Chains A and B, each alone.
Chain A
Amino acid sequence: MKKIFSAIAIVFSLTSCEDVIEVEVSDGAIQLVVDAFVNNLAEPQVINLKSTKQFFDEVVQEAFIADSVYIKDDLNNMYFFEDELNDGNYTWDDSVLVHEGRTYALMIKGNGVEYSSINFANPVPDIDSLNWEYSPKTIGAENGGYLVELVARDLIGQADYYWIRFKKNGVYDTRRAGLNLPVDGSFSEESMADGQLFIPPISTFPMFNVEDSLGLKDTATYEIWSLTEGTNGFWAEVLNQSISGGIGALFATPTANVKTNIISTGTELKDQAVGWFSTSVVSSKTIIIKEKEGEKLSFPLF
């Protein structure tokens, strides 16, 4: 469709334009947001509970104070989460929470309603190594920087859903455009990439601007998170929400809501929840970029 848009755009290019404006939107019902992505790493596990906010309000989402938040696995282990600071961040840090192969149920009680969800912990491949190499410039980054490549292979057999995450100096990349969601070695179950090595663009971190580019002494971390098919679908719907601007707006359809796996016992709109509960096994590798110490990238730069 993009080609059609650009062709039509030439007719109106001489006359059309875009401006930022203020828009009044009638209020929507405020609901609970459950941000519960937990994993098997030996670090505090955080479940974030907040209220949604009106679309254009420039406010921070309010914390949701629950009566109890816990996860129970299929071996009857209970993990109770506490929010010491009453800021909506419920934490568990007594032991490793997620174990591969187990099923987990999340239970939240609050507001006179019970919220629950279920997810499963799938396996994940180990990361062989990370390669890095300096590139004077690359697509999306006019300034040079180190490209860091993930070397890992998809698990053979079943269809695997992964979320590959990158951290620069310990901080996650949270851009929508940085969401990296491979299925097996490619992007769909049917693609015959089962058991394959990850290749670009999956295996390299996308740098869109100067802030992303990596230099000497920066720490780069790759994490592969295992997902269920449902969680992969959740992220696909989030990615789908970006609407094409400009002439594409002529052909735009109303924004679709993103699905949720949080079920509520309440019947009213305000007692429903949005968000997602996911249990992942994570393999992780970190390097500090030092000149000449990295293996060259396995794909040619140009």
Chain B
Amino acid sequence: MSTMNFKNIKSWISIALMLPVLAVAQKFNVSGTVKDGANGETMISAMIYTEDGNYGTATNAYGYYSIELPKGTYTLLFNYSGFATLSKTIIVEGNMKLNVELAAETEEIDVVVVTGKRNTDNFKKVEMSTIELDVKKIEKIPALLGEADVVKAVQLMPGVSTVGEGATGFNVRGGGVDQNLILLDEAPVFNSSHLFGFFSVFNADAVKNVKLIKGGIPSQYGGRLSSVLDIRMREGNKKKVSGQGGVGLLFSRFAIEAPLVKDKASFIIAGRRSYADILAKPFLADNFSDAKFYFYDLTAKVNYDINEKNNVYLSGYFGRDVFAQGFGFNWGNQTATARWNHIFNNKLFMNMTTYYSNYDFKIGVGNQEEGGFQWKGNIKNYSAKPSFTYYLNNNNTIQFGGQSILYEFAPGESEFYAEGNKFDFSQDDRFGLENAIYIGNEQKIKKGIILKYGLRYSMYSYLGPSKEYIYGERSSITESRDTLKVKSYNNGEFIKTYFNPEPRFSAKFDIDSVSSIKTSYNRMSQYIHLMSNTAASTPLDFYSPTTNNVKPQLADQIALGYFRNFGKNLGWETSVEGYYKFLQNQIGYIPTAALQLNDYYEGDLYYGSGRAYGAEFFVRKNQGKLTGWLSLTLAKTEVKMDEVNNGDYYNNRFDKPVVSNLVLNYEFNKKYEMSANFVYNTGAPFTSSSINYGIQGVSVSHNPANVRNNARVPDYHRLDLSFTIHGNEEKKNGNKKLWHGDWVFSAYNTYARRNAFTVYFENENGEPQAIKYSIVGTVIPSITYNFKF
């Protein structure tokens, strides 16, 4: 009857005292790494979210995540395309570590049926103007000579184009080939292709993830105006020895990976080599019989998980293109990266990267005794890059850090040998130092609105012992400037310094559960400039630093897009995105610009501005037997220089008003698969004389207003097909085979269209004639055998 005694009162008081504490819910961090169960590879951009959808995050470039949850019980879902969603029930009472491994989806599970797995990346992520591909997606695209090609896959996406076969780089949203920051495990690569654009330097066997950011570039990236192509290598199988490769008509590749310490350390080495020259020997004319032309590359990585808080990685790339026929001509990139990840606590993650990168070319014949010459050039950089991620709370993730890059430019070192003597015609080396610090935050305002904002502050100094060249005026618009003075500096002296604040902003607003609007603004600066006045950039083009004459290039880009998914399980992705980019301090050249082996090349340059704008339409089907995408870009890119075309805007060399790509992949069954891609784009512009006249019977061409790019080559279109026969992965008794292989039959340029690369004129006998030169004028078939063990 009377339960009110002292003990009860004490309990009531304790409960009463606890109420305020209970009202402030305690929050804790759950963090860890997400890995592929088959080989221990960390998974980039894997999604983690609570079943109720209230909390979510993604893994970073190192597979690491941190999610803040109030005290309680949750079912956490781990999701990655192509893998079975993993479900873990956890009780959150304090900070906790949760490392998981995902299992690949087996063929039997119909993708459509798996609950909770909706294809939402398209509209849920705040990132816009971004294309992310994992290797499985890249392997499905038919490529030249049967090899999956990272850069070719990126070129099939909206907003990306090239001037044609033979171009060593690609253009993003109307930007030049040097305006793309191409990173392989954080180290920059300067020439992304082998054999004049036919193959990329990235061996798909060693690549884990590819991300192309065309706009709304986050504050941790800087140094190029138009895009970031961030390529991450695989670490190497941490569980067992495995390998893969392919043998083809013109080249082969092989990759091997294995654990050094099971589940803790591993390595991967992948190499490729072409041998077209050896096979073609019997077919070549006598004067070419000792010719060599081939490429090779080697990609390698070693990594070690020291403990729960520390990982180290060492990766490198070495590749070369070689031409030789009595003389040698070769070029290539080398990179070496060392990285250390350190987890301070479950809120603060750090990555410390240092790298060395070198792109060089070399031409030479003969030697000092017999006569000849040698000419080489390179660009080297050394850099340190600390970057931090601070998971402040569920609504705010802060990134901050910095970068310092020391540049050495050797535009051309050349020696001529005659009669036992050596004559030096080298250009002086030049030096620069680029520094940056950045801070940014990704903030969830409320359900359905995410803002990402930040500031990167960069500065660049032109350093001694470079020389400072001071120029006067030009006597006419097509002449070089007069050199007034050349000043020498000591090692490390600062000649000229520039500062550039670069604000970055992007935002996403959900309209409903299947669509969103995204918008972004970024300001980018670029301190190195590719000097190229030829039809397309070539391996001999050199990089100029920013100097007292050549100012940093700047770009401001705004973008706005609408993203929506349709269909069962949202398997159809669509988007339409518009952008406008204004560029400053763009470089042009006088008609007779002498860029090679000329210390006074700065006197041959014009400066002006540019603008690029366009609309990108994209539809992609990700599920079912028939998958693929259609991309259409309508765009314009123009340049304006006082001395050219009366100071009016004129077409940029890579302006393509219409670029469209259709990629289709059909899986008949487990064994047979077919894919096709059809590419159509407007022909690239080129500079043509617009006038001619006769003098004393000789025909002379003329360009009255010093116009550029006033004509176009014919339109470009091409169909590629490929057919794959997959080998069985299992033996008749159901056990896994030791190794299995696929046969790939492909045809590049199936209807043998002679797409023009450039047009030149012959007017020897009176009337001029236009002649188009096509690099690929036939169909190129190939057969490749790919194997995996």
Rounded to whole Å, the gap between the CB of B325 and the closest CB of chain A is 4
Give complex CA distance A27, B711 in Å.
10
Q: Would you call B690 an interface residue if the criterion is a C-beta within 8 Å of the partner chain's C-beta atoms?
A: yes
**B-side contacts of A187, CB under 8 Å:** none
A169–B786 CA distance with the chains assembled, in angstroms: 71
**Does A191 make an interface contact (CB < 8 A)?**
no
A26-B648 Cα distance, complex, nearest whole Å: 15
Is the beta-carbon distance between B695 and A54 smaller than 8 angstroms? no
Q: Report B731-771 CB contacts with A as 1/0, cut-off 8 Å.
A: 00000000000000000000000101111111011011111
Q: Are B691 and A238 in contact (CB under 8 A)?
A: no
**B719 in the interface (beta carbon within 8 A):** no
Q: How far is the CA of A21 from the CA of B771 in the complex (A)?
A: 6
Q: Answer yes or no: B535 CB below 8 A from chain A CBs.
A: yes
Measured between beta carbons, the chain A residues less than 8 angstroms from B698 are 174-176, 179, 238
Q: Which of B684-743 contact A (CB under 8 A)?
A: 687-708, 710-714
Task: Identify which of A21, A24, A258, A274 contacts B772 (C-beta below 8 A).
Answer: A21
> Does A267 sit within 8 A of B, measured CB to CB?
no
Does B170 have its Cβ within 8 Å of any Cβ on chain A?
A: no
On chain A, the number of residues with a Cβ less than 8 Å from chain B's Cβ atoms is 68
- The tally of CB-CB contacts under 8 A between chains A and B is 222
Residues on B with C-beta less than 8 A from A56 are 768, 770
Distance from A165 Cβ to chain B, minimum over Cβ atoms (Å): 9
Give A18 to B760 CA distance when docked, in angstroms: 10
Task: Provide the residues of chain B in CB contact with A192, threshold 8 Å.
Answer: none
- Whether, in the assembled complex, B166 has its beta carbon less than 8 Å from a beta carbon of chain A, the answer is yes
Known: A11-B293, A18-B774, A269-B705. A25 touches B694 (CB 8 A): no
Shortest Cβ distance from A248 into B: residue: B760
In the assembled complex, the Cα of A24 lies from the Cα of B715 at a distance in Å of 13
Given A10-B291, A21-B772, A53-B693 contact (CB < 8 Å)? yes
Contact residue among A37, A174, A238, A252 (Cβ-Cβ distance under 8 Å from B535) = A252
Q: Which of B592, B688, B759 has the most CB of A within 10 A?
A: B688
Instruction: Find the B residue at minimum CB distance from A17.
Output: B777
Cβ–Cβ contact B591 & A255, under 8 A? yes
What's the dominant secondary structure at chain B's contact region?
A: loop
B541-557, CB under 8 A of A: which get 1 and which 0?
00000000000000000
**In the complex, what distance in Å separates the CA atom of A257 from the CA atom of B476?**
13
- Contact indicator B688/A27 (Cβ below 8 Å): no
Which of A24, A35, A241 is B694 in contact with, Cβ under 8 Å?
A35
Q: Which of A1-9, A75-83, A93-101 contacts B (4 or more CB under 8 A)?
A: A1-9
In contact, A6 and B325 (Cβ under 8 angstroms): yes
Does A19 lie at the interface of the complex (its beta carbon under 8 Å from any beta carbon of B)?
Answer: yes
- Residues from 87 to 137 in A contacting B, C-beta threshold 8 Å: none
* Option from A10, A21, A31, A172 in Cβ contact (under 8 Å) with B288: A10
Is B284 a contact partner of A275 (Cβ separation < 8 A)?
no
* A29 at interface by CB-CB < 8 Å: yes
A22, CB-defined interface residue at 8 Å: yes
Q: Could you say which residues of chain B place their CB within 8 Å of the CB of A139? A: none
Q: Are A7 and B293 in contact (CB under 8 A)?
A: yes
CB atoms of A52 and B693 under 8 A apart: yes
B153 interfacial contact with A, CB 8 Å: no
A274 touching B773, Cβ below 8 Å: no
Q: Is B195 an interface residue (CB 8 A)?
A: yes
Q: Mark B278-303, 1 if CB is under 8 A from A, else 0.
A: 00100110001001010000000000
The minimal Cβ–Cβ distance linking A277 to chain B, given in whole angstroms, is: 11
Among A56, A249, A269, chain B packs the most CB atoms within 10 A around the CB of A249
B contacts, CB < 8 Å to A: 166, 195-196, 276, 280, 283-284, 288, 291, 293, 323-327, 329, 363, 365, 478, 533-536, 538, 589, 591-593, 646, 687-708, 710-714, 754, 756-762, 764-765, 767-778, 780
